[in-house]
Amino acid sequence: MEIYELSLSDVAEKIKSKEVSPVEVAQSSLDRLAEVEPAITSFVTVTGEHALAQAAVAEADIAAGHYKGLLHGIPLGVKDLYDTAGILTTSSSAQRAENVPTSDSASVAKLSEAGMVMIGKTHTHEFAYGATTPTSGNPWDPTRTPGGSSGGSGAAVGAGIVHVALGSDTGGSIRIPAGLCGTVGLKPTFGRASRAGVASLSWSLDHVGPLTRNVIDAGLVMAAMSGYDRRDPASVNLPTPDFVTGIDGGVAGKRIGIPTNFYNYHVEQETQDVARRAAEVLQGLGAELVEVEIPLAEYILPVEWGILTAEASAYHMDALRRSPERFTEEVRTLVEAGEVVLATDYINSIRLRTRIQEAWRDMYSSIDVLLAPTVPGVAALREDPYFRWDDGVVEGATSAYSRMSAPANVTGLPALQVPAAFSATGLPIGVQIIGKPFHEAEILQVGFALEQATDIVGRIAPVATAAVPV
């Protein structure tokens, strides 16, 4: 078995025991990248020399007895929204084609301090404003979308290039590509991890988090990313948690919420069946299934878009006037549309978000976590990114994918995507586990139990090595 095929924990053990060196691990990732990247184009910038230099430092530190922990020497992909000192950071946009930051974003700095080795910058849907990442292909079928906006990160982890990649999540942009590419994706509670140095889409909905091969990996990386940072106004001053200890505690007695509305509208039958079977697996492990009605469901998406579009347009206001031609037509249209959102509509969206958060808090008085499909269907074709529902509705992929994940952004609750099955056509299908505020450890525990009961999590896509024209 090649090094890149091993789990993070297995690689970490080999690095710690000096059976393999961080340089060998980094080279294995770079070799895998060279093999599959022509088909999936997951990276906008590859930092091979930088990665090998970082790996050499890690090797020297470990040889000198300065082992930093399980992340030391592990390959990392970084979504191109995150600032990286001295390395091009474009947000996959011509607006920032020459942007080279002078300092690292908070998360990159923390993971670098933990000894991780950055392989490169992964593609994002331009400025994270979309859920398909047109530049990249899905590792399970490169003619299909990897999702977005963290599509490059999802593809890179799903293809086995890196063990971990960073994403951001404003309307599902960690969980969507994780679900479509067959990886684990963790969106923490709003305020858990600093967003300093990450290009914003919507400051009051943005979250940062990891995409990984398995649930334990997500907990390890999230713990390293967490912590108070006064540079982020939303940052919450809480102790940095240990998300992994006790993760194998099981689900006996856990109350699993099964939604009776919202998450079953315009959802492919195969996807619904996977979510139902996942619930039954947890029930078989001792959990209690509790049917719940999603409160104020009809207002969730209007609130999400009422806030997001206004805040995104405020962020891009100067660029829209200075160099509108440097946006793609799709994103420029969205930014222009956000400028006509009334201030009263924006304020009312914020007020209604508070009511939704309060109603969800009440819902959680009867459950511990909510279990639902991550996205309504498998990865759409890149040439035809639409869903055609039985009632005649034609829905764009960005709308379809984000409507399933938006509730966790509007509420700010932690959410974990876990692979649960493969479709009849061989494409990944996942479920998301949504928890109470700052209960990341609990959703990881439920996700770990589900992971251990299947053989789905941790699979690497057998990417074709030939380029796929789109």
SS (H, E, C) the chain: CCHHHCCHHHHHHHHHCCCCCHHHHHHHHHHHHHHHHHHHCCEEEECHHHHHHHHHHHHHHHHCCCCCCCCCCCEEEEECCECECCECCCCCCHHHCCCCCCCCCHHHHHHHHCCCEEEEEECCCHHHCCCCCCCCCECCECCECCCCCCHHHHHHHHCCCCCEEEEECCCCCCHHHHHHHCCEEEECCCCCECCCCECCCCCCCCCEEEEECCHHHHHHHHHHHECCCCCCCCCCCCCCCCCCCCCCCCCCCCEEEEECCCCCCCCCHHHHHHHHHHHHHHHHCCCEEEEECCCCHHHHHHHHHHHHHHHHHHHCHHHHHHCHHHCCHHHHHHHHHHCCCCHHHHHHHHHHHHHHHHHHHHHCCCCCEEEEECCCCCCCECCECEEECCCCCEEEHHHHHHHHHHHHHHHCCCEEEEEEEECCCCCEEEEEEECCCCCHHHHHHHHHHHHHCCCCCCCCCCCCCCCCCC
At residue 464, the pLDDT reads 60
Query: Considering the entire predicted model, what is its pTM?
Result: 0.97
**β pairing state of 75-79 and 117-122:** parallel
Strand partners, 184: 212
466 within some domain: no
* Mean pLDDT, each 10-residue run in order, the chain (470 residues): 94 97 98 97 98 98 97 98 98 98 98 98 98 97 97 98 98 98 98 98 98 97 98 95 94 98 97 98 98 98 98 98 97 97 98 98 98 98 97 96 97 98 97 98 98 92 59
For tokens 């009632």, what's the residue?
A: 391
Task: Judge contact between 359 and 389, C-beta under 8 A.
Answer: no
Task: Judge contact between 166 and 89, C-beta under 8 A.
Answer: no
311 within some domain: no
Contact residues for 246 (Cβ-Cβ < 8 A; gap 6+)? 441, 445
Please report, for the domain that includes residue 395, its CATH number: 3.90.1300.10
- Report, as residue numbers or ranges, the catalytic residues: 79, 149, 173
At residue 241, the pLDDT reads 84
Q: How many CB atoms lie within 10 A of CB 212?
A: 27
26 within some domain: yes
Give 225-264 pLDDT, tens digit per residue. Answer: 999 999 999 999 999 889 999 999 999 999 999 999 999 9
125 within some domain: yes
What is the C-alpha separation between 143 and 326, in angstroms, rounded? Answer: 27
* Tokens of residue 18, six digits: 């000096």
What is the C-alpha separation between 145 and 285, in angstroms, rounded? Answer: 34
**β pairing state of 164-168 and 117-122:** unpaired
* Tokens of residue 394, six digits: 């034609």
272 within some domain: yes
What is the C-alpha separation between 374 and 378, in angstroms, rounded? Answer: 10
What is the C-alpha separation between 216 and 211, in angstroms, rounded? Answer: 11
Strand partners, 372: 432
* Number of independent structural domains in the chain: 1
470 within some domain: no
> Could you tell me the residue range of the domain that residue 160 belongs to?
3-300+342-453
At residue 54, the pLDDT reads 98
What is the C-alpha separation between 136 and 147, in angstroms, rounded? Answer: 9
What is the C-alpha separation between 29 and 33, in angstroms, rounded? Answer: 6
At residue 108, the pLDDT reads 98
Torsion of CA 46, 49, 54, 58, to 10 degrees: 120
310 within some domain: no
37 within some domain: yes
End-to-end CA distance of the chain: 32
